[in-house]
Amino acid sequence: MTPPRTPQIPVVVLAGFLGSGKTTLLNHLLRNRAGTRIGVIVNDFGAIEIDAMTVSGQVGSTVSLGNGCLCCAVDASELDTFLETLTRPSARLDVIVIEASGLAEPQELVRMLLASDNPHILYGGLVEVVDAAEFGRTRQRHPEIDRHLTVADLVVLNKTDRVGEAERERLRAAVAELSGPAAVISAVHGRIDPELLFDPALRPDHEDKVRQLTFEDLLREEAPHGHEGHDDHLHASYESVDFTSDIPMDPRRFMEFLDSRPDGLYRIKGFVDFGAGDRDNTYALHAVGRFLRFVPRPWARGEQRLTQLVMIGAGIDAAALSAGLAACRADGAERADEPDVERAMWGVLRYVQEQAPEPEVFDAHETPDPREAAAEA
């Protein structure tokens, strides 16, 4: 079993009806990307203002934003073509964000991503932006928003400064009921922590030293007094739980943990040691919403064999999650019973990309959604 030959770039779908604040949120991500190179695909005839530039949506165009990011404006039919362009090594991108049209069916874009033959991409989740002040009227005009929320992996309840506290809690409860297991976070002016959606890029020291000063740097330097630390508290809307174990994980219990993970747990990332289940490989885990994938990688010579995971969500019980993972550790007898552990690994191998080319959405007991249908197509 060999790992993919090339790294995969997560592709995040950013959706929401007109006026919800998608473009504001996207601009916030681009201004606070911390060196991460972002590719932007705009499925609309809108405009993205970033770094003192305005990129007007022209279908079929590719525009450099001048700060390590690229922007494309495309029709849905051209999505694969531009994904191919943005995933070329020469683009050197870390993440791709697709801003869906305000009247688009986001699950169609998700289907296209899951059905794509492009080996360089990885589904990064569907983020639905909701205007808190206009939610009731939006449901009247666009009742399909209920369907959009049911397939979202993360819901951003935006413009919460425009409603009172009691109304904000009522809206949060209503959105959470519609979105089911998705994490729901509140935001003002689309300001969410970029680490909710993608990991900060790690660059060699020399690369940062020789790079050209970007507008992002200038924006930070010129921030008004008292405002420069504004985004430092964005993490308050979600929780991050770390877990490390030097004892291998039992594959059967670990998969049961994933199948029963609580609502609001948006991302799980890291590496898993399954011990006797596969002594040659560590397994990189990528989970977003109800989507799950493992990628095996050979252990490096002398590498310490650990399970290291980070879980990110909103309204989650950190202690319960840590206890649940601790209970997945294999005891001495299980570690010695290699044939049984190897059989249990079949539950993991279902979600290994090279073993199962058709992407799957786990938890067979839940109501099928468009992503599952796409995976089976």
**Per-residue confidence in pLDDT tens, the chain, 377 aa:** 444 445 789 999 999 998 899 989 988 888 887 788 888 887 654 444 433 233 333 334 455 545 455 556 556 567 788 888 889 888 888 999 988 876 667 888 888 888 888 999 999 999 999 999 999 999 999 999 999 999 999 999 999 999 999 999 999 999 999 999 999 999 999 999 998 898 877 554 445 444 443 434 444 444 444 444 444 455 557 889 999 999 999 999 999 999 999 889 999 999 999 998 999 999 999 999 989 999 999 999 999 999 999 999 988 999 999 999 999 999 865 555 566 777 889 999 999 965 333 333 333 333 334 334 333 33
Which pLDDT score, from 0 to 100, does residue 34 have?
A: 75
Which of the 8 DSSP states describes residue 224? P
Q: What are the b/e assignments for 119-129, b being 16+ CB within 10 Å?
A: ebbbbbbbbbb
At residue 369, the 3 state secondary structure works out as: coil
Nearest to 62 by CA among 44, 80, 86: 86
The answer to whether the beta carbons of residues 86 and 73 sit under 8 Å apart is no
The amino acid present at 313, given as its one-letter code, is G
Residue in 350, 17, 308 with CA at minimum distance from that of residue 156: 17
For the stretch 281-311, pLDDT in tens is 999 999 999 899 999 999 999 999 999 999 9
Residue with tokens 């999505």: 79
Is residue 255 helix, strand or coil? helix
DSSP, collapsed to helix, strand or coil, labels residue 258 as: helix
Which of 35, 85, 31, 89 lies closest to 63, judged by CA? 85
CA dihedral 338, 340, 341, 346 (to 10 degrees): 130
Q: How many residues does the chain have?
A: 377
At 187, list the tokens. Answer: 């935001």
- pTM for this model (two decimals): 0.77
Helix (H, G, I), strand (E, B) or coil at 135: helix
Side chain identity, residue 94:
D
Report CA-CA distances (Å) from 268 to 97, 257, 330. Answer: 19, 12, 20
Q: Which of 334, 332, 325 is nearest to 285 (CA)?
A: 325
What amino acid occupies position 342?
E
Rounded CA separation 190/177 (Å): 22
Q: Which is nearest to 309 in space by CA: 356, 254, 350?
A: 254
Q: Hey, what are 180's tokens?
A: 């089911």
Report how far residue 68's alpha carbon sits from residue 45's, in angstroms, rounded to the nearest whole number: 23
